[in-house]
């Protein structure tokens, strides 16, 4: 059976094969074929997922304590909840930035990029500044 992928790393501008024996066979069997090179990215980590949902909760709590409601984003008198922070604030940015619907599909880099945009918008428009959680919290 021919493996579908070839594992390699780029070092000093050159492709280095990670498994020379299997790689040689793969190259031989795919002679004269077009190939696609894709960067392998890490899926979000469990810690990152937990921190993300804790952050949703913290934003919702801070917004509620400051007297804001979700009319800020959806124009209806609705109390902020972690679910609404995720669905109405985070996901629209996520979709535009990554094209992905689910937070489960985000890579570690994508989480960082979406967080930066949403966090900066919250700080600018609502004066809410909550850093991304980095320590374990029992709730998650």
66-85 confidence digits (pLDDT tens): 888 777 666 667 788 899 89
Instruction: Check pLDDT > 90 for residue 117.
Output: yes
Q: Are 128 and 62 in contact (CB under 8 A)?
A: yes
pLDDT band at 35 (very low <50, low <70, confident <90, very high): confident
Q: pTM value?
A: 0.52
Helix (H) or strand (E) holding 118: helix 108-126
User: pLDDT above 90 covers what percent of the chain?
Assistant: 44
């Amino acid at each position: 059976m021919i493996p579908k992928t070839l594992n390699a790393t780029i070092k000093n501008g050159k492709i280095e094969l990670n498994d020379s024996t299997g790689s040689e066979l793969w190259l031989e069997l795919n002679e004269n074929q077009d190939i696609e090179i894709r960067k392998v990215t890490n899926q979000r980590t469990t810690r990152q997922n937990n921190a993300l949902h804790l952050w949703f909760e913290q934003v919702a709590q801070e917004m509620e304590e400051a007297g804001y409601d979700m009319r800020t984003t959806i124009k209806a008198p609705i109390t902020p909840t972690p679910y609404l922070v995720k669905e109405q604030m985070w996901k629209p940015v996520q979709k535009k930035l990554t094209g992905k619907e689910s937070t489960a599909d985000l890579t570690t880099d994508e989480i960082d990029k979406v967080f930066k945009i949403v966090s900066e918008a919250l700080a600018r428009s609502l004066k809410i500044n909550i850093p991304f959680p980095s320590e374990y919290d029992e709730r998650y």
